[in-house]
Amino acid sequence: MGGTTVIIRDIKNLSSVWRNTSALSYDPFTSRMLMAFGITPHHVRNLYKPDPARLLPDEQTRERSLLSCANPKKLSYMHLQSQWFKTQLLPAQSAFRTFFGEELFEIEPEFTRIYQRWEDASWKIFYNFPHFLAPGLQADRKRVIAALAVYLDLPESKRKNTAWIFGAMNSELTNLGLPAHDRAGLIMMICWAINNNAHYIAFWMFAHILTNPILKASIESEITACFPSPTSDQGCDMEKLSSACPHLNALWAEALRLYNFSTAVRKAVDDCSVGTKIIHKGDQVFGPVRNFHLAEGVFSTGAAEFDYTRFLKNPKIRQAKEYFPFGGGHTLCPGRYFAEREVYLLVAMSLRRFKMEVTTADGGVVESPKVPHIRMDLPSLAAAAPAGDLFVTVRS
């Protein structure tokens, strides 16, 4: 409380913030998030220390640890982990990877439901809600972390389907002395970062597809060309899906533009300047993404309204500096290609396998269905939530 917050309103200044990685750091925010996930302060501090191999207990552990043998720049654990994600979340390696096997759900059958309930309220973490004002959030966090902790302590032979990235994290965090509870907290935070955007963006894409017959027909035609035959629902060509479906691509780009409520955040660890503004050590710097995404000088008149055709008419606006749905600088989201293909494939398979139409809650006909409004009264850390439901009848 009582600190100074600087809001960035000019794209040139935001670019300056991203470039200044020495004085303006993202680490204070991630370390605060780690403690919000229940990781002890001592272990959080160790995760940010350079050359983490020094913290390993013995020479034998150092010889087989990635912190030593695959860390020539002696990066801290958190920065090395970021490098892992940048390589492991490339589409060719991860498009069909399942992060966890069935063992996790054998430990906690309600894991998905509990996690989703927690995620829906997770915006409270960013605003430092005390525990007594968010008891449900804390109870769900504890249940999810408890299940993950049990899972991570299973012998490797009993969790053979663990994705490499989480297996590596678990192994190296164990080497650094983190107990299962703290390891689970860090992995839960990563799952949060991976999941927090995609399902809402997918919702908005489906909402526009199912309420716009012209858009739906165009996307279905594009998707058909990505399968081996007109009747096939297997063997989707992912490269063609991501590069040869202009309407699907434009819909994705516009959904990210209009419904992304994330914020670029940094904390000054040294005095510096951004444009003509002096930033003092300890100041927070915020760059709200949506403010830039609504710039009519870049996205044309009506930038506050949904219009996927703007990306069909002028595909180059995806390269505009004011368009950065996945952030920028060294914190540019490493999972952006994975998320794109994940959502594209969900849309393609759903439209191929099912007949979907907007109806009333009991399946009645809806004339001229409308996309729900954005829920503006609920803070969002990533993609915005809808203000109401959209009932859809799905038939095989």
Would you mind telling me the total number of residues written for the chain in this entry?
A: 396
Q: Cα separation of 46 and 62, whole Å?
A: 16
At 88 the pLDDT is: 66
* 333 marked among binding-site residues: yes
CB atoms within 10 A of CB 118: 22
At 191 the pLDDT is: 85
Q: Cα separation of 48 and 169, whole Å?
A: 15
Q: Cα separation of 309 and 296, whole Å?
A: 15
CA distances, 166 to each of 38, 71, 97, 348 (Å): 18, 18, 12, 28
At 97 the pLDDT is: 39
The DSSP code for 383 is B
Strand order in the sheet with 284-288: 5-7, 284-288, 263-268, 24-25
Question: Where do the domains of the chain lie, and which CATH numbers do they carry?
Answer: 1-26+198-396 (1.10.630.10)
- Contact between 159 and 150 under an 8 Å Cβ cutoff? The reply is no
Greatest CA span in the chain, whole angstroms? 70
Token representation of residue 249: 């691509």
Closest CA to 322 of 300, 276, 274, 290: 290
Closest CA to 277 of 17, 2, 3, 29: 17
Q: 348 by DSSP, 3-state: which?
A: helix
At 93 the pLDDT is: 38
At 21 the pLDDT is: 92
Q: 376 by DSSP, 3-state: which?
A: coil
pLDDT (tens digit, 0 to 9) for every residue of the chain, 396 residues total?
457 999 999 999 999 999 999 999 999 989 999 999 999 999 999 999 999 999 999 999 999 999 999 999 999 999 999 888 777 654 433 332 367 888 898 999 999 889 989 988 988 887 788 889 999 999 999 999 999 999 999 999 999 889 888 999 999 999 999 999 999 999 999 888 877 778 899 999 999 999 999 999 999 999 999 999 988 888 999 999 999 999 999 999 999 999 999 888 999 999 999 999 999 999 999 999 999 999 999 999 899 999 999 999 999 999 999 999 999 988 888 888 888 998 999 999 999 999 999 999 999 999 999 999 999 988 777 889 999 999 999 998
CB atoms within 10 A of CB 136: 12
